[in-house]
Amino acid sequence: MGILDKFSLKGRVALVTAGAGPLFGSSLSEALAEAGATLVTASRSLERNQQFAETLRRQGHDAHGMQFDLSQNESITGLRDAILERFGRLDVLVNSALGRDGYAGGFDKQTTDDWSTSAQSDMVGLFAVCKAFLPAMVEAGRGSIINISSIYGVVANDPSLYRGTDMKQPPNYNFVKAGMINFTRYLASYYGRHGVRANTISPGGYFDHQPQAFVDAYNRRVPLGRMMNHEDIQGAVVFLASDASSYVNGHNLTVDGGWTAI
């Protein structure tokens, strides 16, 4: 098998949670579909996922939209049952869903209820999704789990970036993303002997028409001089999903333009 063949995902079934989302989710999904995977995207909005899947099918890809709620265990197991019944297996699991919506407020504004809600979806939900699909991967003797963390799971956020804006980094985001990295290492060490690899991707800031003051400050701070775009994360997810990374396990791949290098 040539090196380029190892990047192919033909014959693989991949699930991306929140895979129809406008930021990282759709980027991840498009990359896996273009690499040849049978793609499933799932989130709370069935309509959004089905519309996104139809868009990919018009481009010649094998894509399917389903529905689930990250905060509801029965919904998670229902998604698992639907995927295994329809496709017989799951080869690639990409966890990109997150419970929070938008900018959830700084430390001074958040409450214990905010943290409880975050824990139920972002932490318990991640655990439940992995627990639901891991037995089938273990039985098959192969699988790749890719959890989408953040540079703010690696380093603290820089408060100076937010000067001149109403933006504030929510502390539960840092808490969840840092824990995700070490939870992934746990999965890697425990399930690697069963042929299941687990890795994280920690992306930098994604350009989403944030206030210009924030964008300018971010661009000055990052060595490559710009925020992430739609394509920047795609090579990383295909690499970790494919046989090109067959000996990569327990790794946190930062895709951040050099942010965490300085």
- DSSP, collapsed to helix, strand or coil, labels residue 3 as coil
Asked whether the predicted pLDDT for residue 20 surpasses 50, the reply is yes
pTM across the whole model: 0.96
**Domains along the chain?**
5-254 (3.40.50.720)
Is residue 152 flagged as an active site residue? no
Decide if 145 contacts 95 (C-beta within 8 A).
yes
- The rounded distance, in Å, linking the Cα atoms of 181 and 7 is 24
Return phi, psi of residue 242, to 5°.
Answer: -100, 175
Decide if 223 contacts 259 (C-beta within 8 A).
yes
The better pLDDT of the pair 115, 2 is held by 2
Asked whether the predicted pLDDT for residue 151 surpasses 80, the reply is yes
- DSSP, collapsed to helix, strand or coil, labels residue 193 as helix
Over residues 146-158, the mean pLDDT reads: 95
Decide if 40 contacts 50 (C-beta within 8 A).
no
Residue 105 has a pLDDT of: 74
Residue 102 has a pLDDT of: 47
Of 103, 152, 162, 173, the catalytic one is 173
Over residues 90-97, the mean pLDDT reads: 96
Answer positive or negative: Cα dihedral of 105, 111, 114, 118.
positive
Per-residue pLDDT tens for 207-234? Answer: 999 999 999 999 999 999 999 999 999 9
Over residues 44-55, the mean pLDDT reads: 97
Residue 86 has a pLDDT of: 98
Residue 100 has a pLDDT of: 57
Residue 104 has a pLDDT of: 61
Rounded to the nearest integer, the mean pLDDT of the chain is: 94
Q: Which residue has the tokens 């943290």?
A: 115
The better pLDDT of the pair 198, 112 is held by 198
- The rounded distance, in Å, linking the Cα atoms of 34 and 213 is 35
Per-residue pLDDT tens for 98-129? Answer: 765 544 678 888 888 888 888 888 899 999 99
CB count in 10 Å sphere of residue 33: 24
